[in-house]
Structure 1
Amino acid sequence: MKLLLAAAALTALAAPAAAQTQAAPPAAGSERINQLIVYGDDPCPQSSEEQINVCARKPESERYRIPEALRGDPNDPANQAWASKATELQYVGRSGIGSCSTVGPGGMIGCFNDIVRQARAERAGRDEVNWNRLIEEARQERLGRIDAEAAAVEAEQNPPK
């Protein structure tokens, strides 16, 4: 009796797995994206159904070098222009309207300007690779390949008369 119950339980668990023999391709945006930097003539790994590989190519001479953004000393006073030092100093000790301080009326109004200023400084110091564009190109290439495979399968299923 116990053996019969165990066999019935295993059959019940295996039935949903048998019904899922063909998986649908993942929806756009649900796949995993792997961002790589390849050097010289190294090949970019092939993308799979659940992962898109996006490669940025750099010359072979850059393989063992420190990334450009990290090569110099960003805090070295020689690397800062006098105009940027003066711009930074104009915000020291500000209070009141447009200052992003808790002092005075309208102090919170300048907080958005501070966020924008920080974002622009970060953008100026980031890597030159446009990962969003490379990801979109890889996604479009993958979708084109899936469409071509689907058209080939449909042509096999419905041959012209």
Structure 2
Amino acid sequence: MSDTSETPSELLDAADDHDERAESLRREARRNVETAIRDQLDFEATVTAEHSGDGFVVEVKPDALSTVELDDDDLNVSVRAATLAIGAIEVDPETVRNIRELIDEIGELHSDQPGAPRDVIVRNAAAVGLTSDEAERELDKLRTRGEIYEPQSDYLRTT
């Protein structure tokens, strides 16, 4: 090794610094999303954001929230029940009632692929009232019961 190259330990420290910075940026983005939503509401509510794919799923409480559409120059926000989905929602929440229908709808939108991409399903789970964690659990249950299958890794189809 030359005197100017970094040691493996220094490289690992640098990687840790990047991971910490990325996490710090995710926390800052989450706070910014929560603040942007809170500022657009005309009622008192608890707003919590969860990073999901390339967007956020935001939960707004109280339960008395009805369907609302909010737009901001930087955010496209769709409110359905008590769930906000921020990012590239690819399906109309009014056309799907459950995750199986969501898989079918996304599969149609991605007809050039072997099925509905799992990450897109999870990212759009708010359309059927699920968080990304709930969607993952539901997909696992459906696969265990044989109601969905993976024609290729990370792509899903209904049976």
Question: Which TM bucket (shorter chain)?
Answer: under 0.3
Considering fraction of residues, name the structure with more strand.
2
Q: TM-score, normalised by structure 2?
A: 0.19
Larger Rg: 1
Quick check: which one's helix share is greater?
1
